[in-house]
Amino acid sequence: MCGSDKKLDKIRALILVGGYGTRLRPLTLSRPKPLVEFANKPILMHQIEALVDAGVTEVILAVSYRAEDMEKELTEQVSKLGVSLTFSHETEPLGTAGPLALARELLNTSTEPFFVLNSDVICEFPFKDLAKFHRNHGKEGTIVVTKVEEPSKYGVVLYKENGEIESFVEKPQEFISNKINAGIYILNPSVLSRIELRPTSIEKEIFPFMAQDGQLYAMELQGFWMDVGQPKDFLTGMCLYLNSLRQKNSSKLHNGIEVVGNVLVDPTATIGKGCRIGPNVTIGPDVVIEDGACIKRTTILRGACVRQHAWLDGCIVGWRSVVGRWVRMENCTVLGEDVIVKDELYVNGGQVLPHKSIALSVPEPQIIM
């Protein structure tokens, strides 16, 4: 078994981390997006672990800002996995292709193909199958495509039965396909010769020409897929992820009389009496859920506290935040780090910046500075 995987061992990966993650504010005001925990694990760790599973030993992170805390924390976490981490810093944002040109030297050290992925994507990562599919067709690149319900919001991919891509259509007005680019690729180093070191979009300026040359193939993703770059999708992605966990590894999910449906609870969290938790809830380390709370479709991050009789649906509760007694929060409310919501308030779609104490209800969606 090891013998057959030997070639795969040399595969490298580049993750497009990009900028400040403004779409996931107010969470990303306290913590770089790759470190924001999705289902109790930093978003980036989901990807790195999947890459390591596929035998990747070298990961390059393309980052357009310096965050020493993040580099230190990630290097620590990743070293345990036996994979080396290199940071490639952009002095100006280079889009989705430019970072590949910037990392040209690192990627050119071998003739083996490498993985490229967008850092916001959460799915059942198909790296092994992707590498196999790529080697079988023998062309320059393969992109993973996924089926979506409303393709008109995205660019769709048209390809032949064997996977050879014919064309890309941006935001189609009439239905032509429901397959979109999932943001996961495998490319031969030869592709680097197509990319200049300037801000470039890989989707718009590189892939269409590769497709014209018959050098780009599509592989269909099995299972769920979500871009979790903004709060609403973060929660949807969490539901899909927990559902997938139920099917694949249900022992990781929490059981108990207070639990309904798929719920992930860190062992250091405590849950009071008479609560109803779930469906689709993630509770982080050191979180305290007091008696009689009801929580649905929500992520509670490390060290937060939900006090008695509170009711939460569709929320992200930031690190060390406190949700008061009899509080009702719903409709994609996001509390930043260390926010206090006083007792008995109603928060409807509030985006609350870090270290804020809220003493008045927020009946309509708004940003609280």
- Catalytic residue annotation: 171
Q: Which of residues 81-100 bind another protein (CB under 8 A)?
A: none
Reduced to 3 states (helix: H, G, I; strand: E, B; else coil), residue 110 is coil
User: Considering the rule CB under 8 A, would residue 65 count as an interface residue with another protein?
Assistant: no
Q: Rounded to an integer, what distance in angstroms lies between the CA atom of residue 157 and that of residue 1?
A: 35
Size of the site for another protein (CB under 8 A): 16
Q: Quick one: angle between helices 68-79 and 43-53, nearest 10?
A: 30
Instruction: Out of 114, 127, 241, 311, point to the residue binding another protein (CB under 8 A).
Output: 311
- Tell me which stretch binds another protein (CB under 8 A): 18-26, 82-90, 247-255, 309-317: 309-317
User: Considering the rule CB under 8 A, would residue 333 count as an interface residue with another protein?
Assistant: no
Query: 179 CB contacts (<8 Å, ≥6 apart)?
Result: 145, 146, 147, 151, 156, 157, 159, 218, 220
- CA-nearest of 284, 287, 288, 257 to 272 is 288
- In this structure, what token pair is assigned to residue 31? 């913590």
- Tell me which stretch binds another protein (CB under 8 A): 8-16, 128-136, 137-145, 303-311: 303-311
User: Considering the rule CB under 8 A, would residue 359 count as an interface residue with another protein?
Assistant: no
Smallest distance from another protein to CB 326, Å: 4
Cβ-count burial 76-107 (b if 16+ within 10 Å, e if not): ebbeebebebebbebeeebbbbbbbbbbeebb
Q: How many CB atoms lie within 10 A of CB 152?
A: 12
Binding mask 160-199 for another protein (x = CB under 8 A): ----------------------------------------
Q: Rounded to an integer, what distance in angstroms lies between the CA atom of residue 275 and that of residue 259?
A: 8
Q: Which of residues 242-301 bind another protein (CB under 8 A)?
A: 274, 276, 291-292, 294
- In this structure, what token pair is assigned to residue 212? 């014209």
- Tell me which stretch binds another protein (CB under 8 A): 163-171, 181-189, 320-328, 334-342: 320-328
Smallest distance from another protein to CB 339, Å: 20
Footprint of another protein (CB under 8 A): 274, 276, 291-292, 294, 308-309, 311, 313, 325-326, 328, 330, 344, 346, 363
